Amino acid sequence: MTQVDGNATIQGDVKLQYKSDVYSPPPVVYLRMNEGTGTTVGDSSKAGNDLDGELGGSASWSTVFKNGPYAVEFDGDSDYIDMDNDTALAPSTAFSISYWVRANSFTGYTRMVSKYPTGAGSPSYSYTILTGNGTGQVRFFVMQASNTGSGTVVMTDSAELTVDTWHHVVCTYSGANTRMRVYVDGALKDVTRTGTVPSSINQGTAKLSLGANLAGSIASRQYWDGYMDEFSLWNVELTADQISYVYGNGVPPDLSVGIP
């Protein structure tokens, strides 16, 4: 990079580009959840993947939002966002998932993000993020590429999510560094891990869904009861500084071009 001090005259066609120390390209998918009408949840990422979601059940637009004018409300009984099963939605060696949620209640295990049915290993599995059993703990699973066993899980040691309060959740995975991390409201949380973090995960055949486990039976869908806003998935392990930017000190920035 060339630095110019003082006055400079530039002629001709010049493209100036600045990248900060925390720069990251656009996320794989970015749902701002601001449509307010219809059932399509548009992908605002400039990555160009066009990975729109679709409201399902009775999921609805709500003016209870983190970054308005709308968010999506889930009733805990039948609601979800269907993201389908594009391979871009399951990066195999590194990824980060970021979103804002506000819970109405915690009843049993509830799925916030899911590409992972219940039960033993299956080719359909990739990852899931859910709450603790009736608690605000955050549980993050990945399934190793071999599709064997019950996967690897980290769970926060404390109940980090509370009812009627917006919280920012980021879960990161790095196969190269064999680590899984959970951040809540910009802070890295202490977790307990079960299993060995794999060097790569299964891309899986299950659909990605928000607010429910669409790949499971009706009885095991574990519907989310509350609100969600500003969902993004990245094909890199975001750093602590990058997550701080995404958190925005509680004011979510526009992530359509990534982290500038």
Determine the Cα–Cα distance for residues 233 and 99; give it in Å rounded to an integer: 9
193 in a structural domain: yes
The whole domain housing 190 covers 29-248
H helix and E strand count, the chain: 1, 17
pTM of the predicted protein model? 0.92
In sequence order, what E strands does 46-93 have? 53-56, 60-62, 71-75, 80-82
In a domain? residue 21: no
Classify residue 17: in a domain, yes or no: no
Total number of domains constituting the chain: 1
Q: Which residues contact 242 (CB under 8 A, 6 or more apart)?
A: 22, 24, 259
pLDDT, tens only, 94-153:
999 999 999 999 999 999 999 987 655 566 778 999 999 999 999 999 988 887 777 899
Q: Is residue 24 part of a domain?
A: no
Residue 93 confidence class, pLDDT cut points 50, 70, 90: very high
Distance of CA 243 to the CA centre of its chain: 12
The CATH number given to whatever domain includes residue 34 is 2.60.120.200
Is the CA virtual torsion 201, 205, 210, 215 positive or negative? Answer: negative
28-57 pLDDT, tens digit each: 999 999 999 999 999 999 999 999 999 999
Is the pLDDT higher at 90 or at 29? 29
Residue 66 is assigned to a structural domain of this protein: yes
CA–CA separation, 24 and 234 (whole Å): 9
pLDDT at 10 over 70: no
182-200 residue pLDDT tens: 999 999 999 999 999 999 9
Q: Kindly state the tokens that stand for 159.
A: 């109940």
